[in-house]
Chain A
Amino acid sequence: MDFELPGENHPARKAVRAWFEANPRPSGRQLAEAGYVVPHWPKPWGLAADSELQLIIDQEMKRAGVTPPRNPVAVNNCAQSLLTHGTDAQRARFLWPALAGEQTWCMLFSEPSGGSDLGALRTVARRDGDHYVVKGHKIWTSLAHKAKVGVLVARTHPDLPKHKGLSQFLIDMDTPGIRIRPIIDMSGHENEYNEVFLDEVRIPADRLLGKEGEGWALSVTQLQTERVALSRPGAIWGHGPSARELVEGLAEIGALQDGALRDEAAQVYIEGEILRLLAYRSLSDRMNAQTPGPESAVHKMLAAPHGQRVVDLAKRAQGPRGMLAGEQPFPSQLLEGEDPYNDWDYAFWFSPAVTLGVGTQEILKNVVAERMLGLPREIDPTAQLPWSETKRKA
């Protein structure tokens, strides 16, 4: 057992640092081709990197002031499925532009009729010659307005039980029949999330990912991968300020002189440090395991409410001034970097979302209790019935 992180003289670090010195302003394509976007993937896309090398690459990229291409849905969730379930043609067409950030991806999963019960989704893909024709309504789709590629889960077999009749597709977001409408969330921000209407959208049959009926298994894997990807120290899904910045900020404004607040800050700080250690462990697990397991659900279950406590304490330290729109708690921590959650005020008003998105806290607790403690699953009375029958009843 060794908790020491790789040091300054680690040979791998020297090599990575040399690359960034030779390529001080790399394009997304250069980063992708160097294997630095998904280092844990096999070659040629990644470097088959272990947790240590991945951490080094993360740190050296930050040190060089380089921001990796922003394409979270591809990089963190879905693109990995092409390695295991995609065709050669799909890999050739989609992977490099995705990793290079040239084509943004989005996930067409949740629907208005229900988010947690994803398996009950109603969007239908009907086979028509060498195409599928899709009709339905998706919601909470991050980045849909910027995306070139959508990963769609839709029902191809309405007469099978709900989890068995789903399939996944890689669709072009500019296909006729797709309409995107932004959702304005309670923070007042626009364009973080969208509704997507699919009206007789024709998809070439070779855009099917995996086989018909594999949509549920693929979706579950992709969501679990996301939970691992989210295991960074930032308060908002791993992004934005962490408990360390909170304590620095509170010290800076003198708020730690208040005994009660000081104790809460210590509590949040300790939680944050422990979650960092757990995140490193998840990283190790991710390297060792082929597919992420329920441990990633534990991390998200702990990290999401922790993040809420981080931004909550910062907000409370402001007193009534904190209720002014845009008011920041800590003068020295002002809107650095491209990460929108570095804005403490925005991060606070956004924070109710972190126990909703990517599995609500309640669903995560079910997953943890059922899969890690072996508690009995609650029987879903609709799970074994043909979906078409359950829909008629509903």
Chain B
Amino acid sequence: MNFSLSEDHLLLRQSARSFLEKEISLSRVQVPGATVADASYEANWRKITAMGWQGLVVEEEFGGLGLGCIELAMILGEMGRTLAPSPFLGTLFGTWALQKGGSPEQKRAILPDVVAGKMILALAIAEADGSVDGPCREASAQRQGDRYVLTGVKSFVIDATAADWLIVAAQDVQAGRRAFFLVDAKQPGVQVELLPWRDVTRQVCDVRLSDAVGEPLAMADEALWPWLRDRLVFAQAVENTAGTQRVMEMTSDYARERVAFGKPIGTYQAIKHSLADMLGQAECSNVATLYAAWALSESDPRASIAAAMAKAYTSEAYVSAAHRSIQIFGAIGFTWEMINHLYYKRARANAELFGNARAHRERVIGMATARAA
């Protein structure tokens, strides 16, 4: 029992922070009218892959570092803190799906190239209404001989534009249930449409499949999806927590400096109390997310409820903190040139992906009462 991060964890986080502060700039998206095309995706990805972070969670037999969720949280948190635009998240999600669900051949074919920084992945799971738990109504897979052909639409796919391979959830027509498929993103039957997503630090896409060839992952949906869902929402909680912390820090810095009526605005209780609430939310987010990181890394039976709690709590905390930040900065915080709206948009966008806070609360209360019964 020890509720603190180890020296090694803190060191890892610090090195990631120093690197990102030096290398990642959002100045181009802070220009009014900027889109995700201005977010330096490719340049950032080159820097990140040079650090080898894309291999963090890849098992050692495929050349990765084989690290767990606590170590991942140290690095991913720093990317959430800086909103670093890059296809890291899509690649991480695809890596998780493939590593857990893929056959040894599939893993050998792709994971070493991911580690080498030569391959980008994306996970196509959501329906047009945002649902991710299946069944799959909008994309289907037909077996034709020894291969599958996929047709339909996947929505809100993170980092699909850059992806070389997609992991696609589609309804297996013959089997009558959802399954996951490995799909070459560069084949003619795959059309990727970059969406006008409000969070311009992230590429979010629709993917249209017309007779796209796919290869099923070895693991069935009911085994893979619960495992994968815990990690996807955990990753979001990590981003949310780090973003909340950053927003709190920059807003309290501003409240110490900005003077009104002869005093720094942070002297006034209306501001002070708002920031104290933000700090409370940051502390809660932090402990909830670390608990989930620990439970996932230990394969603890509480991992699912821990991840759902972290996602539900941090989604709303981040939105609230980012909104308060705009309020405390005042009118300047409402302009495009300031960074506040980028955090607010990331917070809002994360809150809607992979189930909103209420949906995860429903899962939590279900698990909590099932345990009691």
Contact = CB atoms under 8 A, between A and B. Distances in A.
A74 to B, nearest CB: 27
B325 interface: no
A98 B248 CA distance: 43
A142 interface: no
Given A1-B294, A269-B364, A270-B309, A284 B272 contact: no
Contacts of B266: 369, 373, 375-376
Interface string A48-63: 0001100100000000
Interface string A351-379: 00000000000101110111011111110
B316 to A, nearest CB: 9
Most-contacted residue by chain B among A6, A281, A366, A369 (CB, 10 A): A369
Given A270-B361, A274-B284, A376-B267, A6 B1 contact: yes
Contacts of B280: 298, 301-302, 368
Contact of B291 (A265, A277, A364): A277
Interface in A126-147: none
B272 A365 contact: yes
Nearest to A361: B273
B264 A376 contact: yes
Contacts of A251: 369, 372-373
Contact of A373 (B3, B275, B361): B275
Nearest to B294: A3
A243 to B, nearest CB: 9
Interface in A274-290: 274-275, 277-278, 280-281, 284
A369 B276 contact: yes
Interface string A206-247: 000000000000000000000000000000000000001001
B110 interface: no
Nearest to B366: A266
A200 B271 CA distance: 45
A5 interface: yes
Contact of A3 (B3, B358, B365): B3
B267 A2 contact: no
Nearest to B252: A373
Interface in B244-263: 248, 252, 255-256, 263
A256 B4 CA distance: 36
A374 B362 contact: no
Given A1-B9, A2-B1, A369-B275, A375 B287 contact: no
Given A2-B294, A247-B369, A365-B276, A55 B309 contact: no
Nearest to B369: A251
B45 to A, nearest CB: 30
Given A4-B298, A262-B362, A368-B276, 13 more contacts: A1-B6, A1-B290, A3-B295, A51-B1, A251-B372, A251-B373, A269-B364, A269-B365, A270-B309, A271-B284, A281-B4, A374-B252, A376-B267
12 contacts: A1-B3, A2-B2, A251-B369, A271-B284, A284-B4, A365-B276, A365-B277, A368-B276, A369-B252, A369-B275, A375-B256, A377-B267
